[in-house]
Copies of this chain bind each other. A is one copy, B any other.
Amino acid sequence: MSLLAELERVAAAVERRLDRLLAKPGERPEDKRLGEAMRYAALSGGKRLRPLLLVESARLFGVKDEEALPAATALECIHCYSLAHDDLPAMDDDAVRRSRPALHIAFDEATAILAGDALLTLAFEILSEDGTHPDPAIRAELVLLLARAAGWRGMAQGQALDLSPERQSFTPSEIAAMQALKTGALFRFACEAGAALGRAGLPERAALIAYASSFGQAFQLADDLLDAEGDAAALGKAVAKDASRGKATLLARLGPDMARQRLDELVVEAEQALAPFGPRADVLKELARFTAARRA
C-alpha cells in the first residue's frame, strides 16, 4: 500500500473514532456548544501524521492497527487541543486554520479555551479506558508518557519558550531545543507509545526515539520552508508568519541552502535509525522522506 493511501486509511479510522467519541454533544443549544467546538477542532481535516507514526511504530512489534488506534486518537486530541490554544489571540493570534476560521473565531475565545481543555482531558480519558490496552500497566504507562510529552517539561514549555521575549535572540541550538519540546515531544510520544503497546525492548525503543528526534527536526525545517516559500491556499493557513513576527527560525539562521542540506541529512538519519527493523519499517522511512518534501 502506498504511503498516501496508508495516511488516508489511518486518518479515516481516527476520524471515525473521534466522530463516535464526540457524538451527541447534547440536546439544548447550551449543552451542545462545547461538544460542537470540540468536533470543530478535532474533525477539521489535518493529515493525522502523529496517529500514523504511532500505528506504524506499534506495527513493528506485531500490534494490529485496531489495537493502536485508541492511543493514536488520544494523541490526536492533544495535537488538536494545542492548535486550538496556540491560535488564541493571547498566543499566536491566528484567524485561519486548515482553510477555515480558527476555533476562537468560529465560536468565541472562552469556548475555544474550554474546548482545548476538554480535548486535552479527553486524551487521558481515552488512554485510561480498558479498550486502549487490556493491561492496565500499559495504560498507566501511556498516560505517563503523554503527560510528560505534553506538559511543563514538554510541549507546553516549548510553546512558552516560543512566546518568550528572549525568543528573538535564541541561538540555532536554542531554537532546536525549543522545537524539540514544542513539536518534537509529541512525535517522540507517537513512536514510544507504539513501542509501549508492543512491549518493545529498550534497544528498539531507543531506535524509535532516535527516529522520532530526526523526524521531528526534519518536520520543523520543512515547516519553516513552507512558511517562507509555501502557498497559503495549499496550506490552509497564513504563510510568512515567522518573518512578519520577527521570529527567528532555524531556516533564517541557516539560510535556505544550508537548511535544505540539513533537511536531507535529517531524513538519512531518520532512515538509519530504523535500520534494526529492516524492511518492516519502510513506511516510517517513506514518511520521513514525505514529510521533508511536502508542499502543504
Chain A residues engaging chain B, CB cutoff 8 angstroms? 28-31, 33-35, 38, 81, 85, 88, 90-91, 108-111, 113-114, 116-118, 120-122, 124-125, 127-129, 135-137, 139-141, 143-144, 146-148, 150-152, 156-157, 159-161, 163-167
Protomer copies = 2
Residues of B within 8 A of A124 (CB): 124, 143, 146-147
Known: A140-B140, A151-B125. A114 touches B33 (CB 8 A): no
**Contacting residues, chain B, for A141 (C-beta < 8 A):** 128, 136
- Given A129-B144, A147-B124, A34-B156 contact (CB < 8 Å): yes
Are the CB atoms of A110 and B163 closer together than 8 Å? yes
Query: Do residues A160 and B33 form an inter-chain contact, with CB atoms below 8 A?
Result: yes
- Are B29 and A152 within 8 A (Cβ)? no
Whether the pair B30, A152 counts as a contact (CB closer than 8 A) is: no
Please tell me which one of the listed residues B121, B139, B166 contacts residue A152 in the complex, with CB atoms under 8 A apart.
Answer: B121
Contact B122 A151 (CB under 8 A): yes
A121 near B151: Cβ-Cβ < 8 Å: yes
Contacts A113-B90, A141-B128, A144-B128; A151 near B118 (Cβ below 8 A): yes
Minimum CB distance partner of A22 in chain B: B152
- Contact check, A164 vs B90: say whether CB atoms are below 8 A apart: no
13 further contact pairs, Cβ within 8 A, besides A30-B167, A118-B152, A139-B140: A29-B164, A30-B164, A30-B166, A33-B160, A34-B156, A110-B160, A114-B159, A117-B120, A121-B147, A121-B150, A122-B151, A124-B143, A124-B146
Tell me which residues across on chain B come within 8 A of A147, comparing CB atoms. 121-122, 124-125, 128
Closest chain B residue, CB of each to CB of A156: B118
Q: Are B28 and A166 in contact (CB under 8 A)?
A: yes
Instruction: Kindly state the separation between the CA atoms of A127 and B129 in the bound complex, as whole angstroms.
Output: 14
Asked if B152 and A140 sit within 8 Å, CB to CB, the answer is no
Q: How close is A27's CB to chain B, nearest CB, in angstroms?
A: 12
In this complex, the member of A113, A137, A163 whose beta carbon has the largest number of chain B beta carbons within 10 angstroms is A113
Residue of chain B at shortest CB distance from A154: B121
Question: Shortest CB–CB separation between residue A60 and chain B, in angstroms?
Answer: 24
| Shortest distance from the beta carbon of A153 to any chain B beta carbon, whole Å | 9
Q: State whether A35 and B152 are in contact (beta carbons under 8 Å apart), knowing that A113-B91, A128-B147 are contacts in the complex.
A: yes
By the criterion CB–CB under 8 Å, are A111 and B38 in contact?
A: no
Of chain B, the residue at the smallest CB distance from A126 is: B147
